[in-house]
Each structure stands twice: as C-alpha cells, then as structure tokens.
Structure 1
Amino acid sequence: MERKNILNLIIIITFAVLLIGLLNLDILQGSKFRKLSDSNSIRLISQSGARGNILDRNGEIIVGSKISYDVMILPEEPSHVGYLLSRISHILKIELGQLKAALKKNFISSSVPVVIASNIDLKKAILLGEYRAEEPSIIITPKPLRNYPHGSLAAHVVGYVNQIDRWRLTKLEDYGYKTKDIVGFGGVEEKYDYYLRQEEGGQSVEVNHRGQFMRVLGFQAPTNGRDIQLTLDLKIQKIVEDSMAGRKGSAILMDPQDGQILALASYPNFNPAVFVNNRSSLIAGLINNPDAPLINRSISSSYPPASVFKMIVASAALELKKIDTSTSFLCQGSTMVGARKYSCWDTHGRQNIFQAVAHSCDIFFYRTGLLAGAQNIHDYALKLGLGKNVGFELPYETSGFIPSPLWRKLNKFQSWFDGDTANLAIGQGDCLVTPLQATNMMAVFANGGFLTSPYIVRAVGGLDFSTKKKKLIPVKFKQSTFNTIISGLRKVVSDPEGTGNALSSLPVKVAGKTGTAQVARKATHAWFLGFFPFDKPKFVICIFLEHGGPGHTASVVAKQIIAEMDKQGLI
C-alpha cells in the first residue's frame, strides 16, 4: 500500500513540474519565443522561366509561351484556411471543392506554399491581388505556359508538354529533373527538352507565425530556355496539312540536296494545347483513339512500299547487268512463278524498263526481281537507306524491314522461294518502310546519287546545328543506271498512260512513282514519291495515304500541294 502511495505521489509531482514548465513557456517566455518565431520564418517561393520558343526557318513562332498565373497559399493556420479558400473561390469563380481538392493534392507541409489554382488569367489575378492586401498569405506568381498560335499545325514535329511521368523521372532525375516538372513528350519538345528547359528562380520571403507575409528578403530571376529554329517552312507546312485534312497518313517535303525537312505532317493529328489546359477527357480521347493520332506516321510507322520499291529492283538489276534498256518482258496480265500464278494489275503488253516504271507493270518486275535475286535486292535496298534508321532527330523512329533469304533461314528456319522474291520485287511480303525512308530513297535519284541525312533542327540558341547534319553519302551506281531510272520516273508523269499522269498538267515538271500496297482484308495503301522541278530538283515529296486506295489517289494529293506551292511562289 505504501508503494502505491509513493508511486501516486511521484506521478503528481511529475505533472506539477510539467505544468509549471508549460506555464513558464506560455506566460513568462511566450513573448520571447513568439518574437523568435516571427523573425525566423523564411519561405522560398519559386518562379518559373519560359521554355524556349520553337521557330520555323523564317523565324516565325510555331510554339511560344504566354503568361498565366498560379495562386498559392501558406496553410500554417488550419483554422483560417477554410475561410481563405471560401473567399478565393468567390473571387475567382472556382468551385470551393476544386480548391480543397487542389490543396489536398499539392500539400507538402504547413510551411510550404501550396498551389490551389493554376492557369488564372490576368483579370482574375488583378482581382485577387486587391484582396491580397487583406490576406498576405495569398501568393500570386506568374507562370509561363506553352502557347500554340497555329493550333495543331506541325503537332507531330513539335510534340507537346506535360507533367513528367515516373518512367522519364527515373531516367532524368540525375540531371536535375524532379517530380511535377513539365517536360516534353514526343517531337522536338522531347528530343531537345534539355535545351528548351527553363531554370527556376524565385523569391525568399519572411512570414510570421500565422504564415502571413512580412517582407521580401531576396529575389533571383528565372532563366528562360533556349530557342530552337527548325528547317520547316510554315507556309509549306500549312499547304501540306490542308491537303491532307480528313485523310490518314503522312506527307513530307524535303530538300534533296542536303536533307532539310521543309514540311512533315502526320494524320490524324492533335492540338498540343489540350495537354497545357489539362483537359483530361480530351487527353483520354486522344490516347484511346483507335486511329492513334499521337503517333507520328512519318517516322514511327512502317508500311509495305509496294511499287515505289521497284526503283530499287531496277537499280539492282541494271547495276548487276541482269537487264539493260533493251530488255523487255511480255505482260499478259499474269505469269507463272513456280507452280503459282502471279498477277499484274493490268495487261500492258511488251514492256521495257522505261515503260514498266511508267505503267508500274508487275510482270516486268517479277521477272527482273528473279534475275537480280532476293539477296541482291535486299543489299541494294540497304544502300538506298532502307531497313535501318535514317538517324532523324525526332524520337521513336522505326527502322522498317527488308527481308532476305538469310534472315528467313536464321529467324524463321524456313526456306526462301521464288514466290517470295516475286513478292519482294513489287514491295510486298515482309518488306516495310517508313515514309521518311522512302523520301530519302527518292532523294538519291533527285540529287544525282547521294544519300542524305534528313534533319529538321537548324539552330539551337542561335548556334547553327545544320552544319553537323549535312552528311552526303555517295551511292556508287553507274551514271547510266541513274539516267535510266530518272527517265522512267519522268515518264510516270509525262506518259499519257503513266500512273502519275495526274501531275502532267502542272506548270512545273515533276518526276515520280506511285504505289498501291496490298493489305490483308483492308483497303490498299496509296503512295506517291516524286521530285520537282525535274530539271533542277529543289523538293522531294512523299504522300502516303493509309488505306487510301490506289496510288493515283496519292498523286492527286501531291498535285494539290505542288499547285498551291506554285501559286504562292514557293517553288
């Protein structure tokens, strides 16, 4: 019993000591500690610079920035936060629940400013600024946002920006990237994010124990990102996109002399502003769209090249002396390869190489392909830049694929037959190319024998990058081979029965090749590859229409583009 009384006495004495200590802290020394608290509370408020602009070759802004405003509060007094949010809701006309949700989502600690509203326009920022005199714990900071003065124009080239995801953060955190950073996704925004990226600045402020603003202690100005100038010509880009509207596919214009991309479009496209405004329903619609509008079909998708591949077959056969300009084959609409009948799309009669290219005669190329041999066709395709990445700057380029007997044996453990060679000779079977690869292949014939390295970035921060990109690799064909192929390409347009004759009425001479790619159980793909002006080529054009019908359809789109370029004095 005595032990219990002693224990109770100890507990009472302990509580008495604690109570006296608390009274001492609150009453006797409270003023002292409040002064220390008032004088030692410092908060850092970050302020973002603007990402660099993306410009076309003439300095016109494709992607820029506009000023918006973020609203933050210092939530150190929980009892006051509810009232504060209610007042802000009334002034900004934003649902109170939305502000509370933002506070909960962005809250880090009671001593760190919390963003409760973003993308506030200037008018609302001014209204809230007037109330801030009464409530200094409200902080309004300018925030540059991506701006797209031309809407969806060149969307696949420039890409878009969004909050960094976990995958990118894992790769980039060692380079100073952190959670909630805004980074590039796709296109130039992603590939050149390091250069476009701004550096944060901000101010250090003193606040009292209630989180109320007292004074600014220091300020460091943010640093804007570097501008990037592209090789694109926005006037040509707009013509191309207007001509492709409502279709699915790709369109490219390139300078064949050095590989500058003058226009590059992929359809369907998207408006990058959707991601800036964080329109979740629209973003979900883009991601879940079966037509995949976020994919850059010019570089990230590969397709059977069909008859545009015949230039390679003809080149291989001419170089290997398997055929010459006097060689001809009779087209009666079909031919036997082994035990199987292979058809042509028409009955052409006897065809030499010039006629076969102009009329896209499959029979001629079945026979020519068998003479050249599948492995040689494969090897010549690689010489002309197919089956491998062209080394383009934009991310997610695919390499396409050129099959060969050796590949079939090593990967499928199967034999290669003459029928496979016949299919390869007309660009079918397992053969796949990207529109950019096809464009680069045509450039070899337009520039007289050089494989270019296509590029789209001209300068970064005023520093010329193009000199590093102008790589020309000689394609060592005989001049007679080039002359023969080029003559055939011109006849595609000039011959009244040429598959590209739709372009013959243009005021500028065009050479080219159509292609109609067979697709299992679906409509055919349409190709047109060409260059112009014929006598002194300045442009290579590639039109690819996914499930767009026969190649003639693509040639009509090419005609529209070239006609409008001529009308605007751009040729």
Structure 2
Amino acid sequence: MGDLHISGRRWQILYFVLAVALCSVTAVYVLRLFELQVLRGREFRDLADQNRFFTRNLPAPRGIFFDRTGVSLVRNTSVYKRATPETASSVYPTFEPIDERIALASLAHDEKNVYLDQQRTYPYGPALSSVLGYIGEVTQEDLASHPEWFIGESVGKLGLERVLQNALAGTWGKEVFEMDAKGNILRSIYTEKPIAGYDTTLTIDASLSAKVYELLAGKKGAVVASDPRTGEVLVLVSSPSFDPTKLAEAVKDEASPMLNRAINGTYPPGSTFKLMTALAGLIKGVVKEDTLVDDEGELLVGGSTFGNWYFRQYGRKEGELNIVRALQRSNDIFFYKTAEWTGAEDIARMARIFHLGVPTGIELYGESAGLIPDPQWKESSLGEKWYLGDTYHMGIGQGDVSVTPIQLNQMTAALANGGVWCVPHLLKTTKKQCTDLDIDSTALRLVLDGMKAACASGGTAFPFFDGKPVMAACKTGTSEVGAKDEQGRRKTHGWLTVMAPSKNPEIVVTVLVESNEDVQFQEGSRDAGPIAKALLMEWFGRKK
C-alpha cells in the first residue's frame, strides 16, 4: 500500500509539472499572438497589403497650347517607360520606352521601375519651338530646386513649356490594383483621377509662323510680328530652329538652333537706329523740318573717313537733304552730322525711352538686354574716352550699339502707335500694358513721313514700292560686323522693320537676316525686305 501511495504522489507531481509547462507554452503563444495581431498588427497588415496590392501613377493630361485662332499647337500621348537594367537600382535611372502590355505585366512584380508618362508632340515642329520650347525628364538638378517633382516625370525645360510648368502640369492621380500570389491582377481597388493642366491660348498665329519659317529656310535670322496697338506677338520665329523630338541633334548642331535669336540674339541695328537719332535731334531742336545737310560723300575726322553707303557703293552723292529725304535714302552723312549736333547722351536717352538696352518683358526666360552705350559707359566699362567717331558710329546704329529683334520690333511698334510703347506678350490672357512715351507730335510725324518715303519709290525698301498689299512705312538697315577683309569690307546683317498699313497700322514686322558663310553680305532691302513683304501679303491676303 505504501509503495502505491508514493507512486500516486509522483504522478500528481508529474501532472502538475506538465500542466505548468503547458500553461507556460500556451502563455508564450498567447503573448506572441497578442504581439503579432494587436501590437504589430497594423505593421504586418501593411506588409501584407504591399504584397497584395500595387499602385500605378496616372499622369495628368498636360495643358494644351492653342494659337490665336484656336488651332492646337501640341498633342499628348500616354507612354510607358521602364528603368534600364543597368540603372534600375540608381536613384536617378535612365529610361527606355515599353508597350502597354509589357508595362502592365511588369507593374505586378517590378512596379518601382515602370512609369507612365506622356509624350508631347508638336505639329508645327521647329516653326514654333522658339516659343513653345520642349519638355524633358526630371533630373537630379531639377529635384534640388523642385522637391515636389518625382523621378520619371516630364517637365518644361524651355520656352512657355517651362514658364507655365505649374499651370500646364495639373495633378497626377493613382490607381490601386489587387493581385494574387502569382502576381496576376485580380481587380482595381481604388482610382484617384488625375486633374488635367490648364489649357493656354496664345497670341501667336501658327500658320503665319509656319509660313515665315519656310521663308527663312537656309538662313540664320529671326522674324517678329506684333500688333502695335496691344503688344500681342503674332510671330516669333528664329532660324535655324530645333525639332523638340530630336534634341540630341540640336545640341550638337554648330548652327546653334536652340538659340532664340528673336529674344537672345544681339546685333548692331545699323540704319534702323537712325529713327532714334532723328527723333533725338528733332526733339533737342538741332534739326528741324527745313534743316538741310549737304551730302559730301565722305567726312574726315581725325584721320578717319566716314562715308555714305551710296558713295562707297556707287561713287555718287545725293546733294542737299532734309530729315524726311535723309530717312528715305538712309543717308549716312545726314545722320553723322545730326548725331554730332545732338550728342551721344541725348541719342542714348531717346533709345532708352523706347526701351532699348533693357529686356522688353516678354514671357520667356533669358531675354537679352542689348546695349545702348554712352561716354560714361565707355569710360567705366572699357576705361577709354569717347570720341566724335564714336558718336558718328552710334548715330547710324554701329559701334557698340546692339539690340534684339524683339526690341527693334517694339521700338517700331511704339512709333506706329503714336508714341505709345506696349509690353510684348504671348498669352491671350495677359492684359495689355502700354505707356505713353510723350514724344513730340511734330517730331514723330516727320519720322513717320521718312519711313513712308523709304517704302515708296525713291526709298531704300524697293520690295514695297508697288504699294502692295497695302501702303507701308518702313526702315531698312545693313549693319556691319566683324573685321575687314582684304578689300576693306566687313560682313553685314540685313534688317527691315515695317508697319502696315502706313495709316493706322495693325501689324509691325521686323526681319533680321544674319551674315553667313554662303552670303556674307546681307542687305536690308534685298534680303530682309522680301521676307517682310511675303508675310504682309499672307496677313492681308486673308482679309479679301
């Protein structure tokens, strides 16, 4: 009996130990379960969701540009792209295009390397790229200044695409999908629709711009056309230009197609600047309506010869000229003397009143200021004195004087608009900003009479002598650049700036044709004039 009693107590102890052990193990499992389901439940649910779901970004349709007549200037197409294998692990990968079927399959297991983006196409190509610019993928440098952007996104890099990036971009959306263990898409769980960017109507005339680009084919130069009454820019074309879809070629091109010559190129204005010299002399009173200057062919100053273009080319003089006749014939002798009587400071002051020497304020980045020199500038910048020869050069738009085509266009527009200068603009929504320059009416009338005469028989702008499509008022310019050749000649650019009709002008056209290797000596009347004439024929021909 005693042995049985001891044996029973042993079993009780064993049962107790087993029960304690079982309870301990159960407690451990319960605590672990509590940790997994309660304390860390959200964490593991999130991990599970990441394995079950993937998110696809939905690009917002980028805003569309329209021209002044409602014609679409860009198109959007959705495209997929994937980080290349070599750069997939990089923070800043490079991408290759893939089709939608491959993209959707890749999204299920490699979503971080697959992107949905937009391809931007430009129907008018190079004709409007100086205005519209282009878009490109976000770079490391972009992210440093714009942390709200993300890898794979395309943003504006140049032109209005860059200026209006925030308005055009819109807000991206997203779509969340559920997938099975094999990575197959089961269903769409949630969609947040993207918000499209804002469309923008421009002042630009697309078909007229395309016509102008054809006229500039094979030439370096620029054409600007505007409405002098409002500052609306109708045409802003630079040549050569670039295809926004072939940027790699453009960057390597030695002809600099990505330089917007209309707003960035600076050139001596040549005889077109005589309009400023004339106004300055008239307003100062050193030249009057009946003032006569005898064309001597050449002037000798300190051992240097300053000749009239007509005398240099044909060996002929033009006798006595008044201000209107001098503008009609673009007589250098008259404007050498007018510049001498007026003084460089007053000529510079008049040029600056017409906003030369400063950016015009058009809605594009990187506009050049040009230069209107004076004696103080030369002393401080070059450490040299100003001489009478400098004044002579300035009086005919040579020396250190430089302007952009958009500046010269707006100078002409202010003359056409009765001495009221308007800020040039490309957006239809921009309110016109115009300033009365307070120019003496008699001085303005005489200058305009000279411009009308330049576009009539006996003037320098022979393409306009027939009065077609309408009577116009204009000024030609042939500006010298570079060093003299063996014959003592310098290369020349050709300018023509014209308002039409001559009474109550509605359009101002400025054409620059650069000297190039094929034609080193461009002339305002011969080379720039026909382009301006063709543009006006197109413009006014629509109204018949």
Q: Report the CA distance between 1:187 and its aligned residue.
A: 1.0
Shift of 1:198: 2.8
RMSD: 2.8
**Contact 2:479-2:493 within 8 A present in 1 as well:** yes
1:419 corresponds to 2:392: no
2:108 touches 2:179 (CA, 8 Å); kept in 1? no
Deviation per residue, 1:140-159 (Å, 9 max, x gap): 97643212223333111000
Specify the SS of the correspondent of 2:465: helix
Q: Per-residue deviation at 1:430?
A: 0.7
Preserved CA contact (<8 Å) 1:366 1:422:
yes
CA contact (8 A) 2:268 2:399 kept: yes
Determine if contact 1:319/1:481 at 8 Å carries over to the other structure: yes
Distance in 2 (alpha carbons) for counterparts of 1:237 and 1:141: 35
- TM-superposed CA distance for 1:164, in Å, is 2.5
1:253-277: CA deviations, max 9, x gaps? Answer: 1000010001110000111122xxx
Partner of 1:23: none
Give the whole-Å Cα distance in 1 for the aligned partners of 2:110 and 2:143: 31
Q: Residue 529 in 1 paired to residue 497 in 2?
A: yes
Choose from 391, 413, 425 the match for 1:455: 425
In the TM superposition, residue 59 of structure 1 has moved relative to its aligned partner by 1.4
The answer to whether the aligner puts 1:511 opposite 2:473 as a matched pair is: yes
Inter-partner Cα distance in structure 2 for 1:515 and 1:545: 11
Distance of 1:455 and 1:500 partners within structure 2: 28
- The change in CA–CA distance for 1:354 and 1:106 in structure 2 (over 3 A counts) is same
Instruction: List per-residue Cα deviations over 1:145-188 (Å, max 9, x = no partner).
Output: 21222333311100001112344332222xx1233431112211
State the 1:238 CA deviation: 2.1
Q: 1:36 to 1:429 in 2, by over 3 A?
A: closer
40 and 186 in structure 1: CA distance in 2 versus 1, 3 angstrom threshold: closer
Q: How does 1:159-558 map to 2 (within 5 A)?
A: 159-173=133-147, 176-207=148-179, 211-274=183-246, 283-346=247-310, 347-458=317-428, 465-467=429-431, 470-494=432-456, 496-505=457-466, 506-521=468-483, 523-547=491-515, 549-552=522-525, 553-558=527-532
Secondary structure in 2 matching 1:451: strand
SS of corresponding position for 2:194: coil
TM-score under structure 1 length normalisation:
0.79
Q: Secondary structure at the match of 1:273?
A: coil
Offset at 1:353? 0.9
Amino acid corresponding to residue 60 of structure 1 in structure 2 = V
Choose 1 or 2 for highest CA Rg.
2
Q: Identical aligned pairs, as a percentage?
A: 28
Matched, 1:568 2:542: yes
Is the 2:351–2:372 Cα contact (8 Å) retained in structure 1? Answer: yes
CA distance 1:52–1:478, change in 2 (3 Å): same
Q: Tell me: CA distance 1:105–1:336, structure 2 relative to 1, closer, same or farther (3 Å).
A: same
SS in 2 for 1:325: coil
Distance in 2 of aligned mates of 1:115 and 1:407: 49
Structure 1 distance, partners of 2:391, 2:442, is: 25
The answer on whether the counterparts of 2:478 and 2:524 sit within 8 Å (CA) in structure 1 is: yes
Q: 1: distance between equivalents of 2:366 and 2:245?
A: 22
Pairs aligned (count)? 482
Change (3 A) 1:39 1:528: closer
Using the TM superposition, give the Cα deviation of residue 398 of structure 1 relative to its aligned residue in structure 2, in angstroms: 0.6
Aligned-partner residue type, residue 54 of structure 1: F
CA positional deviation for 1:413: 2.1
- Tell me the amino acid that sits aligned with residue 305 of structure 1: P
AA of the residue aligned to 2:522: G
Quick check: 34-43 or 537-546, which moved more? 34-43
2:298·2:305 contact (CA, 8 Å) conserved in 1?
Answer: yes
Q: CA deviation at 1:410?
A: 1.8
Instruction: Note if contact 1:504-1:510 (Cα within 8 Å) is conserved in structure 2.
Output: no
Distance 1:254 1:177 in 2: 36
When structure 1 is superposed on structure 2, of 521-530 and 378-387 the one drifting more is 521-530
Task: Give me the whole-angstrom Cα distance separating, in 2, the residues matched to 1:237 and 1:36.
Answer: 56
Task: For residue 385 of structure 1, report the CA deviation from its aligned partner.
Answer: 1.1
Q: In the alignment, what sits opposite 2:97? A: 118
The separation in 1 between residues aligned to 2:90 and 2:380, in whole angstroms, is 57
After superposition, the Cα gap between the structure-2 partners of 1:377 and 1:208, relative to the gap in structure 1 and judged at 3 Å, is: same
Contact 1:334 1:343 in 2 (8 A): yes
Equivalent residue number for residue 16 of structure 2: none
CA distance in 2, matches of 1:115, 1:387: 43
Structure 2: stretches of 5+ with no match in the other structure: 1-35, 37-42, 311-316, 484-489, 516-520
| TM-score normalised by the chain length of structure 2 | 0.83
Residues 243 and 250 in structure 2, CA contact (< 8 A), matched pair in contact too: no
Q: 1:208: Cα distance to partner?
A: 5.4
Look up the match of 2:17: none
Residue of structure 2 in register with 1:461 after alignment = none
The answer as to whether partners of 1:135 and 1:212 remain within 8 angstroms in 2 is: no
Question: 1:52 offset after TM fit, Å?
Answer: 0.5
Counterpart of 1:232 in structure 2: which amino acid? I
- Matches of 2:258 and 2:211 in 1, distance apart? 21
Q: CA deviation at 1:212?
A: 4.7
Counterpart-to-counterpart distance in 2, 1:47 and 1:144? 10
The worse-fitting range, judged by mean Cα deviation, of 391-400 and 496-505 is: 496-505
**Amino acid in structure 1 at the alignment position of 2:460:** T
Hey, what's the Cα distance between the residues in 2 that align with 1:253 and 1:473? 20
1:363 aligned partner, one-letter code: I
